[in-house]
Structure 1
């Protein structure tokens, strides 16, 4: 089937090609009736603007890129859904780029290879340093997500991971748990995400007057449910005991649940645990997961706000925004009972 052209839409709608172009580019001076007429012809013909042609005509392609390590990780899949929907509401299409968490993959994201293809990039790095990101910066506007430090020249959106981890730990303390472990951080090459969550966990224990027991830190060979299940299972098999677990993410919590249940421990009776990310399956595990839930919509909207400002010409110092989170309490670590008044 021949590609539908701009002039085909103009012919069907009975308008000029300029009018069709104005509707496609969402120019505000087009009347509602004319916009509806042209949009009907676009829908009927299935017209899709050519990105490179649009770049030549307007200086923009209407495409944005979202880049992160692994689309199979549930949190990233949900983040992609939220960012895509928010970008669509603003008139953009979103391209996903998976870096596999490799330095080469991340360097490709911030290299000049994106120039001319997309108007801007939202990027959650896993291994690139702030210094290297600053060195590779080019003419493609860039906004960073995640827990790693950002260059002074680049915009950044995140949640306060240390504070959230401290809140999860304090929640377990309020349930009367005193031997609280941390599970799921990397065995080697600890990420900024794990470092901040471990720091929040440690600080909460210290505020409660509890010294950190290094034997209760259970690293995982891989950031996965299997890796966490292996780590918790090996610890239990060695005789280590704990009554609470702060898990790096929901996958680590799911793996921990499996290891505990296979060995006859009850959750939350013997061990209360918390996850992180509030992935869709978190409310369907047995027991359901208490978990840190970031405001991903606010994260997406803040990132897109700053990216659009950069696309529009803003060239000021990088901005740093922190969005909110909540600790969603479910069965794996239910809300602490209120004291009875006497």
Structure 2
């Protein structure tokens, strides 16, 4: 019923148009009884507030942008789902933006960011540095996600990648693995994500008295499952020996499983494999993946809280918040066998 007007809702509810407007705008000083009465009329008529009218009346659109590299990457697709659901409970809708992980794409995003269409933005940069991010769109409330360094003026939410990589590597060490490789990082220049995860991997090895071996860093030409199949397969064919792999993400781990299977190498008997992100596919691979699982619900809730505070007037220095993660143990790296 696209032709339903504010006036129609007011007449059905038996209230003034101002009262209906206050309910639609979520004005706090409306009694619960009156709010329920108006909401019942809205539901009955199927009234949809006009976005342009809302902006003219309040200066707000009720839209938040969520920007990242590629919605085709399973982690980002799952992040988008969690953020969208969390935002909906707070009265906001989410507009997705893709940057293709290019500097040009990220620059265009922060320069325009659907000017006038969104009230704020959650942004996970892949290549832009913090100094450049800080120079753009100071009028648009912005919260950063992920590992890239944040400007002092901006908020950021992430998990502790170094600690998580240390934990997943330590899990492999506890199974007696000693030739542990790191698979899936970028062939042409490390991202901050890879840098932090390699640092945690190295930290765990050194604590165990194992000298990190540069030959055990297996880069991929592309951050993808196919790229990992080629990279891990090529390393094995070149004679590289290892008894475990810490993979940069679940896609790299899925590719590693394929490369190992094609060569008759058993997982986890010969080589244990771990992933990162706990995407839905990780539970149904064969064998299922042991992986780092970030708390996406906490990440979304924290990022939205910080963003809404910015949108409603908070103007303090940037806040850096770390949310929880856990190691989900499955078949690809089941951990040490208990001795009875």
SS at match of 1:111: helix
Distance 1:112 1:81 in 2: 24
Question: Which residue of structure 2 lines up, in the alignment, with residue 311 of structure 1?
Answer: 311
Question: Which residue of structure 1 lines up, in the alignment, with residue 331 of structure 2?
Answer: 331
Distance 2:56 2:252 in 1: 48
After TM superposition, list the pairs within 5 Å mapping 1:1-342 onto structure 2: 3-340=3-340
- Give the TM-score normalised by structure 1: 0.96
Contact 2:10 2:17 (C-alpha < 8 Å) held by counterparts = yes
Cα gap change, 1:334 to 1:2, in 2 (>3 Å): closer
Post-superposition shift, 1:152? 0.1
CA-to-partner distance for each residue in 1:207-236, whole Å, 9 max, x for gaps?
A: 111111121111011111000011111111
Cα gap change, 1:61 to 1:96, in 2 (>3 Å): same
Contact 1:55 1:116 (C-alpha < 8 Å) held by counterparts = no
Distance 1:240 1:112 in 2: 47
Contact 1:112 1:138 (C-alpha < 8 Å) held by counterparts = no
CA-to-partner distance for each residue in 1:163-218, whole Å, 9 max, x for gaps?
A: 10111111111101111100000111321101110111111111111111121111
CA-to-partner distance for each residue in 1:55-103, whole Å, 9 max, x for gaps?
A: 2211211111100000011111111111111111111111111111122
Task: State the 4+ residue runs in structure 1 displaced beyond 4 angstroms.
Answer: none
Post-superposition shift, 1:37? 2.7
SS at match of 1:337: coil
Aligned residue pairs, count: 340
> Which deviates more from structure 2 when the two are superposed, residues 208-217 or residues 109-118?
109-118
- Give the TM-score normalised by structure 2: 0.96
Contact 2:225 2:254 (C-alpha < 8 Å) held by counterparts = yes
Contact 1:283 1:289 (C-alpha < 8 Å) held by counterparts = yes
Contact 1:166 1:200 (C-alpha < 8 Å) held by counterparts = yes
SS at match of 2:273: strand
Post-superposition shift, 1:46? 2.6
Distance 2:122 2:82 in 1: 13
Distance 1:5 1:105 in 2: 40
Post-superposition shift, 1:339? 4.8
CA-to-partner distance for each residue in 1:226-268, whole Å, 9 max, x for gaps?
A: 0001111111112222100000000001010011011111100
Cα gap change, 1:243 to 1:116, in 2 (>3 Å): same
The answer for unaligned runs of 5 or more in structure 2 is: none
Distance 1:88 1:113 in 2: 20
